[in-house]
Amino acid sequence: MADHDEENPRELEIKLLLPDGYGDTFPDLDAFRGLVPAERHQITTYFDTADRRLLKEGMALRLRQGGARTLQTLKTASDGSTFGRGEWEAPVEGKVPDLALLRGTPAEPLLPDGTALRPVFETRVRRLRCDLSPADDVRIEAVLDLGEIRAGKRREPIREMEMELQQGSPIALYRLASEVLLAVPGALLSTESKAARGWQIAARAPRRRAEKAGEVVLRPEMTVAEAVRAIIGSCLRQLMANEPLARTGTADGSRMEGVHQMRVAIRRLRAALRLFGPLLEPHATARFEDELRRLGQVLGAARDWDVFCEETLPEAGKEEGTAEWVALLRPAAEECRVEAHAAMLEELRRPALGALVLGLAGWAEDPAVLGGVAVGKPLAKVAPGLLEGVARKVRRRGRKIRHRSMEELHSLRKALKRLRYGLEFLSGLCPEKALRRYLQGCKKLQEDLGGLNDAVTAIAMAEKLVARRGTELAPAMAGLAQWAEARREAAVARLPEDWKAFRDLPLPLVD
């Protein structure tokens, strides 16, 4: 474990899923040359109560048998960072967990003495392990796990490599993981644990669920570097937590929400880079921005067709006299949706996402490359100026709002969204009541601008369908355009009043 604090032990581990057919050797990299891995066969059993108390709290309790000893381990959900989790482990006697070893851990209130635990699923793996020392003060444990998860009669293969920081800077771990990711064709970065996978195949297992953004808790005395690390960690955790759902969910169901939440995570990351941009190293910031924008466009295309097929067409079809016409658009729209999802899945199978996540996480860990001396300043001293800079752009883009073009209103919408994310990031430093009023005004204005954007997007996508299939769809496009135009006009009518109410609100600057 990277942090051996007895009260708050922490595991910092990076996992790569290895492609089918990958052998039982470590990558041909300098860090592994000359090392002879130790081999062990392990059986790990995961336990919970009948009412799944641990699962509901994002915890996993297991017994691992390997050799002559059995090790009991409790792992908690993410600690707010991308790869960190709480971890408590100790040797144990017997074949059931020892509740006494959970005293002082987050599981203690859930599992009082006498609580009945039952095995739910198990993993059986052949583990190859070696210790790496890429620098004098760094120690990393690397393991290859080859085996399977068993839940009743169900089976799922395990083929993965884990790298856990035992000592030293996290930056060394991110560097090593990046090298391995790029050296193994088909490898994918993953934050989904074996326990989470086990629950997916266990009897009565819950389906994967999309994860919304977690709360970012910032303190005034934090440095800018610490705040940026916390925000980036939260955003990357949301991004990676939803990646399995976007990659494996059903195209017309669960995948939709996974794609949506990944897209939200990317927007939050971009908003954070814009908010702190004046203090960050500009070349790295620009490179990360470009890659986030590119990835966001791929996910955005899939999301736009999801919304068009599942929300826009059904709503437009409710209008009297348009239902039959609008229905003609669906076959072509579904074709475009399938193509957009195929492009997205191809992107998620490439190493680019993993490289981006590891690069951002490593960059945020090192103040020396994150920015200049400004990143060492207390957050409370610089936050007001950062928020005011974003708010100034919003006010400038909203002037004479009645006369703004659709393109200008779209720019206002994006600036307003960045401001809202910035306020949410820094909410712990703002006066609560003033922040609540401001965010309410922001939300109302965003709804107006979102309605405008939805109408424009619906017409643009219908035009793509006509260009794809031919003019026989032009009447259907006209029916959709009339529906969209009515909503656009309603949003335009509300906009001046809602803008004035928002404009007059004082920015809830940091106390």
Give per-residue pLDDT as tens, 208-227.
788 999 889 999 999 999 99
Please tell me the predicted confidence (pLDDT) of residue 321. 75
Instruction: Report strand pairing: 10-17 vs 139-151.
Output: unpaired
pLDDT in tens, 68-89: 889 999 999 876 678 888 999 9
pLDDT in tens, 453-489: 999 999 999 999 999 999 999 999 998 999 999 999 9
pTM: 0.93
**Helix (H) or strand (E) run with residue 44 in it:** strand 38-48
Please tell me the predicted confidence (pLDDT) of residue 104. 95
pLDDT above 60 for 26? yes
- Residue whose pair of structure tokens reads 């066969």 in the numeric block: 41
Could you please state the CATH topology (level 3) that the domain comprising 10-206 is classified under. Answer: Hypothetical Protein Pfu-838710-001 (2.40.320)
pLDDT above 90 for 166? yes
The mean pLDDT of the chain is 93
Q: Is 28 exposed, middle or buried (0-12, 13-18, 19+ CB in 10 A)?
A: exposed
**CB atoms < 10 A from the CB of 71, how many?**
15
Span 92-106, average pLDDT: 95
Q: What is the DSSP string of 230-270?
A: HHHHHHHHHHHHSHHHHHHS-TTTHHHHHHHHHHHHHHHHH
Q: Is 458 exposed, middle or buried (0-12, 13-18, 19+ CB in 10 A)?
A: buried
pLDDT in tens, 395-447: 999 999 999 999 999 999 999 999 999 999 999 999 999 999 999 999 999 99
pLDDT in tens, 186-208: 999 999 999 999 998 886 555 67
High-pLDDT (> 90) share of the chain, %: 86
